[in-house]
Amino acid sequence: MEPTDAQLWAAGLGFVLPPIMAFVIQPRWSGPLKGIFALLVAAGDGLGTAYFNDDFDGRSITTCMLLSVVVIGAAYHTLWRPSGIAPAIEAATSTTGHAEPPQAA
């Protein structure tokens, strides 16, 4: 089965979303809060890509949302966090002004 345009857009956008999300996420946020925020962004990505590709039905929306969750998580944990880019953005945009970026493991 070939991926639809909506699924490809959801995956592509999901790959570049982690550094954009880092502008909003604060280092002092708990892990569950960061996870909930990521799920909300993934839901928006899935809904938006399905809608703007005229593929707005139940199965397509669900597939785009789930694909976005997987791609956002994979991209963050394999590229954006280990490279230090997302943590540095979080620290630089912190409202407390004293946040240090976490060390990559």
Q: How far apart are CA 85 and CA 55, in angstroms?
A: 33
- Domain positions in the chain are 5-92
pLDDT confidence of residue 86: 94
Q: What is the Cα–Cα distance from 62 to 6, expressed in whole angstroms? A: 11
Query: Along the 105 residues of the chain, how does pLDDT read in single tens digits?
Result: 899 999 999 999 999 999 999 999 999 999 999 999 999 999 999 999 999 999 999 999 999 999 999 999 999 999 999 999 999 999 999 887 655 556 655
CA-nearest of 18, 6, 10, 33 to 75 is: 18
- Tallying the residues shown for the chain, one arrives at 105
Q: Which two tokens stand for residue 90?
A: 């979080």
pLDDT at 95: 87
State the pLDDT at residue 1: 81
78: DSSP letter = I
With tokens 């928006």, the residue in question is 44
Please report, for residues 3, 39, 64, 93, the alpha-carbon distance to residue 87 in angstroms, rounded to integers and kept in the order given.
Answer: 32, 18, 26, 10
Give 17-33 as a DSSP string: HHHHHTTT--TTS-HHH
Structure confidence at residue 103 (pLDDT) = 61
